[in-house]
Amino acid sequence: MEIGFTLIPSERKKGYCTEVVKLFVVFLFLSKDIVRIQARTDTRNIASQRVLEKTGFKKEGVLRKIIFMRGEWRDLSLFNILREEWKEPKILKF
Protein backbone atom coordinates (compact mmCIF):
# COMPACT_ATOMS: atom_id res chain seq x y z
CA MET A 1 0.00 0.00 0.00
CA GLU A 2 1.43 3.39 -0.97
CA ILE A 3 0.30 6.82 0.21
CA GLY A 4 0.94 10.36 -1.06
CA PHE A 5 -0.23 13.81 0.02
CA THR A 6 -0.54 17.42 -1.12
CA LEU A 7 -1.98 20.37 0.78
CA ILE A 8 -3.19 23.65 -0.71
CA PRO A 9 -0.45 26.27 -0.09
CA SER A 10 -2.52 28.44 2.28
CA GLU A 11 -2.93 25.54 4.75
CA ARG A 12 0.68 24.34 4.89
CA LYS A 13 2.96 24.51 7.97
CA LYS A 14 0.05 24.19 10.40
CA GLY A 15 0.64 20.54 11.28
CA TYR A 16 -2.38 19.34 9.28
CA CYS A 17 -0.52 16.90 7.05
CA THR A 18 1.19 15.12 9.97
CA GLU A 19 -2.16 14.87 11.74
CA VAL A 20 -3.89 13.39 8.68
CA VAL A 21 -1.10 10.94 7.83
CA LYS A 22 -1.08 9.66 11.44
CA LEU A 23 -4.84 9.08 11.27
CA PHE A 24 -4.60 7.49 7.83
CA VAL A 25 -1.94 5.02 9.02
CA VAL A 26 -4.20 4.03 11.92
CA PHE A 27 -7.12 3.58 9.51
CA LEU A 28 -5.09 1.47 7.07
CA PHE A 29 -3.56 -0.86 9.68
CA LEU A 30 -6.89 -1.35 11.45
CA SER A 31 -8.99 -1.86 8.32
CA LYS A 32 -6.68 -3.65 5.86
CA ASP A 33 -4.73 -6.87 6.06
CA ILE A 34 -1.40 -5.25 5.13
CA VAL A 35 2.10 -5.59 6.59
CA ARG A 36 3.58 -2.30 5.35
CA ILE A 37 2.70 1.16 4.07
CA GLN A 38 5.17 3.03 1.89
CA ALA A 39 5.65 6.56 0.57
CA ARG A 40 8.07 8.14 -1.89
CA THR A 41 9.23 11.75 -1.75
CA ASP A 42 11.71 13.89 -3.65
CA THR A 43 14.97 13.77 -1.66
CA ARG A 44 14.89 17.59 -1.52
CA ASN A 45 11.37 17.68 -0.05
CA ILE A 46 12.12 18.33 3.63
CA ALA A 47 8.50 18.97 4.67
CA SER A 48 7.28 15.69 3.23
CA GLN A 49 10.11 13.70 4.84
CA ARG A 50 9.47 15.34 8.23
CA VAL A 51 5.79 14.38 7.99
CA LEU A 52 6.77 10.74 7.42
CA GLU A 53 9.44 10.67 10.15
CA LYS A 54 7.06 12.20 12.69
CA THR A 55 4.47 9.57 11.79
CA GLY A 56 6.93 6.73 12.47
CA PHE A 57 8.04 5.92 8.92
CA LYS A 58 11.66 4.85 8.39
CA LYS A 59 13.78 5.70 5.39
CA GLU A 60 14.47 2.58 3.37
CA GLY A 61 16.75 4.09 0.77
CA VAL A 62 17.03 6.36 -2.24
CA LEU A 63 15.67 5.48 -5.68
CA ARG A 64 18.19 7.27 -7.87
CA LYS A 65 16.96 9.02 -11.02
CA ILE A 66 13.72 7.07 -10.80
CA ILE A 67 11.44 9.73 -12.30
CA PHE A 68 11.74 12.35 -15.07
CA MET A 69 9.85 15.48 -14.03
CA ARG A 70 9.93 19.10 -15.21
CA GLY A 71 13.02 18.60 -17.34
CA GLU A 72 15.18 16.60 -14.93
CA TRP A 73 15.75 13.12 -13.53
CA ARG A 74 14.92 13.08 -9.84
CA ASP A 75 15.95 10.98 -6.83
CA LEU A 76 13.14 9.79 -4.56
CA SER A 77 13.48 8.68 -0.93
CA LEU A 78 11.51 5.53 -0.13
CA PHE A 79 9.97 5.41 3.35
CA ASN A 80 7.97 2.66 5.03
CA ILE A 81 6.24 1.73 8.24
CA LEU A 82 5.78 -1.93 9.18
CA ARG A 83 2.79 -3.21 11.11
CA GLU A 84 5.00 -4.65 13.87
CA GLU A 85 6.71 -1.28 14.37
CA TRP A 86 3.47 0.64 14.42
CA LYS A 87 2.17 1.62 17.85
CA GLU A 88 -1.58 1.19 18.03
CA PRO A 89 -2.99 4.23 19.85
CA LYS A 90 -3.99 3.35 23.43
CA ILE A 91 -7.22 5.30 23.05
CA LEU A 92 -8.47 2.61 20.65
CA LYS A 93 -7.95 -0.24 23.13
CA PHE A 94 -10.94 -1.35 25.19
Ligand X SMILES: CC(C)(COP(=O)(O)OP(=O)(O)OC[C@H]1O[C@@H](n2cnc3c(N)ncnc32)[C@H](O)[C@@H]1OP(=O)(O)O)[C@@H](O)C(=O)NCCC(=O)NCCS
Q: Which residues bind to ligand X, rule: CB under 6 A?
A: 4-7, 12-18, 41, 45-48, 50-51, 54
Closer residue to ligand X (CB): 25 or 33: 25
- Pairing status of strand 36-42 against strand 58-69: unpaired
Please identify, using beta-carbon distances, which residue of 4 and 71 lies nearer to ligand X. Answer: 4
Report which secondary-structure segment, H or E, holds 94: none
In the complex, what is the shortest distance from the CB of residue 33 to ligand X, in angstroms, rounded to a whole number? 25
- Strands in 7-47 per DSSP E: 36-42
Collapse the DSSP code of 69 into the 3-class scheme (helix H, G, I; strand E, B; otherwise coil) and give the result. strand
Residue nearest to ligand X as judged by C-beta position: 17
How far, in Å, CA of 16 to CA of 75, rounded? 26
What's the closest the beta carbon of residue 88 comes to ligand X, in angstroms? 21
Q: CB of residue 4 vs ligand X: minimum separation in angstroms?
A: 5
Taking the least distance from each CB to ligand X, the nearer of 36 and 45 is: 45
Separation of alpha carbons 3 and 7, rounded Å? 14
